[in-house]
Structure 1
Amino acid sequence: MGKPTGFLEYERLSEAYEPVPERVKKYREFVLRLTDEQTAIQGARCMDCGIPFCNSGCPVNNIIPDFNDLVYRNQWFEAIRVLHSTNNFPEFTGRICPAPCEAACTLNINDDAVGIKSIEHAIIDKAWEEGWVKPEPPAAKNGKKVAVVGSGPAGLAAAQQLAREGYDVTVFEKNDAIGGLLRYGIPDFKMEKHLIDRRVEQMEAEGVSFRAGVVVGHDDMPAGIANDAREMVSAEQLKKDFDAVILAGGSEVPRDLPVPGRELDGVHFAMEFLVPQNREVAGGPANPISATGKHVVVIGGGDTGSDCVGTSNRHGAASVTQFELMPMPPEEEDKLMTWPYWPVKLRTSSSHEEGCERDFAVATKEFVGENGKVTTLRACRVEWKDGRMVEVPGSEFELKADLVLFAMGFTHPVGGLLDAFGVEKDGRANAKATTDGEGCYKTNVDKVFAAGDVRRGQSLVVWAIREGRQAARAVDEYIMGESLLPR
């Protein structure tokens, strides 16, 4: 695949970014896509490795060597056909996926991995520019109806697969616009929302109906999650009106930190900060939480924390500090020990590069305030012994904090949704459903399936797309007795 000697002749070329002083002034994307010529050269680096572990490293099992080779040979139309055969929305994954495929790349054992993510990004953007991405309506309808609850990547993938197979699909979304946390959780500087809008237009042309502003079966919303519901639909009504229901909501209940001072003004969940900001960028009201001129502390070292850092920098924060409870990971992994699996190593995001102090093995003990507003954070150093966290004696310290954002992940989906359908939960309070064998993705309730974060817990967009596609096949088999949809 690619050029047999390409990996010996060409160096990895990563996508460039706009300069920090320019990009922090705005909320639009700042990644500069590779040119066609640069992409072809990167495709040439794909080795004829025999067993492409990148395929299995990718949750949707993208046929990576094939589209690398096609780009190298300047066969872009064929490349997007191959890419779309496994991934409904490569413009999402090509921007925000952490690229586990690259960690699994054979070349990554002792060299720089093939830039698979940048190649995927270039293929799909070129396909849209050339007008190759068009609606694919079914040749005929089958008279069956499916409801999809949640319009994130899992719900959208399931809906598109089923609509193309002839089903009448209705997607229900509690917010005023389609996209789930793709729209309201991910900042525009990482993924602009017109990318969602054009996919919605495509899917509407394929026969999918979208009903925004509708809550299904429950009214309990966790802090920080947008809720524009104008009406409610009962779980019983959906089961009555549709031949199958796919629950594809997100994992939306955030982890809290119940330490003294938690009630102070200025201490918030990350989504209480990020969601209103996305609304403001879309032309809505101003974000009620401002980081301008403030000393911001972000607690949590993952992607959500990084998004808080980038947004705070764009507000003009006086300082941004990010705490992580775990020890600082190594800057470079031991590839011979970890390959082809996703390694634990220090990852520095574009938001970190814009300005952020990072500190590891830190536990927050208390928030201190004046006149009801947080002013100081008290913390300590910790060590991990035999899997247990132990405070380092005499390590307490204080840090000025005007705004504290909790970005420690999400525990499980909103309980009311699963309860309304009577869906059995697993030990983590997610919907209980298997992913293999007969009845995969099916819950204990007849006609009700679950896919994405609502089933597997907080995870990646690419995993959500995979589960949505597989759930669509499971529903097709359940209703029709067999399915030609790919897994």
Structure 2
Amino acid sequence: MADPKGFMTTPRREWPRRPIEERVRDWREVYVPGGLPPIIAKQADRCMNCGVPFCHQACPLGNLIPDWNDLVSREDWRAASDRLHATNNFPEFTGRLCPAPCEAGCVLAINQPAVTIKNVECAIADRAWEEGFVPPQPPEWLSGRSVAVIGSGPTGLAAAQQLTRAGHTVVVYERDDRLGGLMRYGIPEFKMEKHHLERRLEQMRAEGTKFRTSVVVGQDVGAAELRTRHDAVVIATGATAWRELPVPGRELSGIHQAMEYLPAANRVCEGDFEDSPLSAAGRHVVIIGGGDTGADCLGTAIRQGAASVTQLDIYPQPGTERDEETEPWPTYPKVYRLSPAHEEAGALRMAPAADADARLFAASTFRFTGDAEGRVREVHLMEVDAQRRPLPGTERALRADLVLLALGFSGPSQEDGLIAQLGLELTPRGTLARDRSFATNVPGVFAAGDAARGQSLIVWAIAEGRAVAAAVDHYLTGAPSRLPSPIGPDDRPLRV
């Protein structure tokens, strides 16, 4: 480490955010442009270069975090970029979108604020693009084998890039009209501007990866036919079967899934619409679900000019400190976190019936009511205890013109016919079954990402893409793959 006393002399400082009144009037990223480089070298100095760096273990990618922290503190950006890209295909994505389990595993976090690992990662990735440290890496030779990758989210893109660089001909099939999966139409622009995605896609095209958009495998092209076209198939379609809320009044108009609402807003930013057909402008919005998707809906509704926004979380409000009994270091703790969207909602007083950050904790929805035209007008809820059991006498109603369900996903969708046409086996959870080599029950067909693992973090998605690429490379060549395989299909995050 460049400064052996950095963790004692330098306080934690994060990438500063733009003023709330300014950023809610546009869709650009919430951070101050240029606000990271002046502080990042000193922040990297806080890394203790531990003898046993648990940040490695907390991140499924196995990022070489102490290595590139040291290089950033010495301002050796090219070497830092090399170390970073050795384990992560898309660090500019993870540096913006990952909740940073690596920071929860930072040894410094035992009794001090963790190193700002996520910010350092983002700074390296952005500097690498500015300095031209990440040129395309086309293969020196072609294997003569072809691979179909179904899905262009982080898993599919990581698998495709790894296999292309290994010399295989890769074709990525995407059902939407643009590439990127949830990074394109699920993640709002204020969390990650899409030029970061476009830049990586251009790199992949230059390396030789081929893309086919607006192709629904199972409908536009038969799954069995696709299997005969290619020597191997990787299914990376994600977990797109959203969870429902089967309560009275669900049939009322004005109640939508988050993944109906967010893509429409993203299409406005793409220039497809002038205004979203599901705009929250002037409406009283209730978001059901306390996770990141709900927060994305919150920030989007604020920018669309909602009259009010309230987010319901069925879990009790967590504390501000780690519970050492149930979530000891280095596990990722459930603590109170204030996202940029919650910060905005609190400052703008967007939810007068809720707490300061627009969230109502320990709240369960049991009924919707509407007007004579069948439009939703109220959300009826009750408080629940720690076991999510309703507490009698706590009923209340919230005004609602627009209700958004952000309840997560149960597994891959089966509506397109892909699973049935190939005869793929499923697990009891509804995800794609696979063996220890990521292979399904159909020879030559592999499954990776949320479609097989279940809904997870972007770092796990990229790690799955890298690992399945190594498995496919071994299948195609019959020899041990030189591609890295950071995780196995049964690996899980650190838990008690």
TM above 0.5, one fold?
yes
* Runs of 5+ unmatched residues, structure 2: 346-356, 486-496
For 2:381, the equivalent position in structure 1 comes to: 379
For 1:343, the equivalent position in structure 2 comes to: 333
Contact 1:375 1:400 in 2 (8 A): yes
* Counterparts of 1:60 and 1:263, CA distance in 2: 43
- Structure 1 window deviating more from structure 2 (24-33 vs 252-261): it is 24-33
For 1:47, the equivalent position in structure 2 comes to: 48
* Counterparts of 2:418 and 2:462, CA distance in 1: 21
Shift of residue 353, structure 1, vs aligned partner? 0.7
For 1:308, the equivalent position in structure 2 comes to: 297
- The secondary structure found in structure 2 opposite 1:215 is coil
Question: Aligned partner of 1:372: which letter?
Answer: G
- Note if 1:247 corresponds to 2:235: yes
* Counterparts of 1:35 and 1:257, CA distance in 2: 41
* Counterparts of 2:293 and 2:379, CA distance in 1: 20
For 1:271, the equivalent position in structure 2 comes to: 259
* Counterparts of 2:411 and 2:254, CA distance in 1: 25
Shift of residue 420, structure 1, vs aligned partner? 2.3
For 2:489, the equivalent position in structure 1 comes to: none
- The secondary structure found in structure 2 opposite 1:174 is coil
For 1:474, the equivalent position in structure 2 comes to: 471
For 2:135, the equivalent position in structure 1 comes to: 134
- Note if 1:144 corresponds to 2:135: no
For 2:482, the equivalent position in structure 1 comes to: 484
* Counterparts of 1:449 and 1:362, CA distance in 2: 40
- Note if 1:11 corresponds to 2:1: no
Shift of residue 384, structure 1, vs aligned partner? 3.3
Contact 2:473 2:481 in 1 (8 A): yes
For 1:94, the equivalent position in structure 2 comes to: 95
Shift of residue 327, structure 1, vs aligned partner? 1.5
Contact 2:15 2:36 in 1 (8 A): no
- The secondary structure found in structure 2 opposite 1:42 is helix
* Counterparts of 1:122 and 1:193, CA distance in 2: 17
* Counterparts of 2:108 and 2:24, CA distance in 1: 34
Contact 2:288 2:312 in 1 (8 A): yes
* Counterparts of 1:335 and 1:381, CA distance in 2: 27
Q: Any residues of structure 2 matched to 1:48-447 within 5 Å, and which?
A: 48-218=49-219, 232-285=220-273, 286-335=275-324, 338-355=328-345, 356-370=357-371, 371-385=373-387, 389-415=388-414, 416-434=417-435, 436=436, 440-447=437-444
String of CA shifts for 1:232-275, please: whole Å, max 9, x gaps: 11111111111100000111111111111111111111111100
* Counterparts of 2:259 and 2:68, CA distance in 1: 37
Question: Aligned partner of 1:470: which letter?
Answer: A
String of CA shifts for 1:174-203, please: whole Å, max 9, x gaps: 011110111010000001111111111111
Question: Aligned partner of 1:7: which letter?
Answer: F
- Structure 1 window deviating more from structure 2 (292-301 vs 354-363): it is 354-363
Contact 1:2 1:45 in 2 (8 A): no
Question: Aligned partner of 1:198: which letter?
Answer: R
* Counterparts of 1:90 and 1:4, CA distance in 2: 27
String of CA shifts for 1:351-387, please: whole Å, max 9, x gaps: 01111421111111111111211111111111134xx
Shift of residue 35, structure 1, vs aligned partner? 4.1
- The secondary structure found in structure 2 opposite 1:390 is coil
- The secondary structure found in structure 2 opposite 1:210 is strand
* Counterparts of 2:461 and 2:42, CA distance in 1: 31
Shift of residue 326, structure 1, vs aligned partner? 1.5
* Counterparts of 2:164 and 2:470, CA distance in 1: 12
Shift of residue 34, structure 1, vs aligned partner? 4.4
* Counterparts of 1:40 and 1:171, CA distance in 2: 38
Shift of residue 36, structure 1, vs aligned partner? 3.4
- The secondary structure found in structure 2 opposite 1:190 is coil
* Counterparts of 2:94 and 2:202, CA distance in 1: 19
For 1:449, the equivalent position in structure 2 comes to: 446
- The secondary structure found in structure 1 opposite 2:366 is strand
Identity across matched positions, percent: 52
For 1:21, the equivalent position in structure 2 comes to: 21
* Counterparts of 1:427 and 1:468, CA distance in 2: 23
* Distance change in 2, residues 1:90/1:4 (3 Å): same
More strand by share: 1
- The secondary structure found in structure 2 opposite 1:359 is strand
String of CA shifts for 1:149-190, please: whole Å, max 9, x gaps: 000000000000000010000000001111011101000000
- The secondary structure found in structure 2 opposite 1:292 is coil
For 1:224, the equivalent position in structure 2 comes to: none
* Counterparts of 1:363 and 1:106, CA distance in 2: 37
* Counterparts of 2:116 and 2:418, CA distance in 1: 40
Question: Aligned partner of 2:467: which letter?
Answer: Q
Shift of residue 334, structure 1, vs aligned partner? 3.1
Shift of residue 335, structure 1, vs aligned partner? 4.9
* Counterparts of 1:294 and 1:357, CA distance in 2: 15
Q: What TM-score results when the alignment is normalised by the length of structure 2?
A: 0.92
Shift of residue 341, structure 1, vs aligned partner? 0.6
Contact 1:34 1:122 in 2 (8 A): no
How many residue pairs match? The answer is 467
String of CA shifts for 1:95-114, please: whole Å, max 9, x gaps: 01000000000000000100
* Counterparts of 2:49 and 2:133, CA distance in 1: 29
Shift of residue 2, structure 1, vs aligned partner? 4.0
* Counterparts of 1:120 and 1:163, CA distance in 2: 25
- The secondary structure found in structure 1 opposite 2:41 is helix
* Runs of 5+ unmatched residues, structure 1: 219-231
* Counterparts of 1:79 and 1:335, CA distance in 2: 34
Contact 2:69 2:120 in 1 (8 A): yes
Q: What TM-score results when the alignment is normalised by the length of structure 1?
A: 0.94
* Counterparts of 1:298 and 1:29, CA distance in 2: 22
- The secondary structure found in structure 2 opposite 1:22 is helix
- Structure 1 window deviating more from structure 2 (324-333 vs 472-481): it is 324-333
RMSD of the alignment, in Å? 1.2
For 1:30, the equivalent position in structure 2 comes to: 30
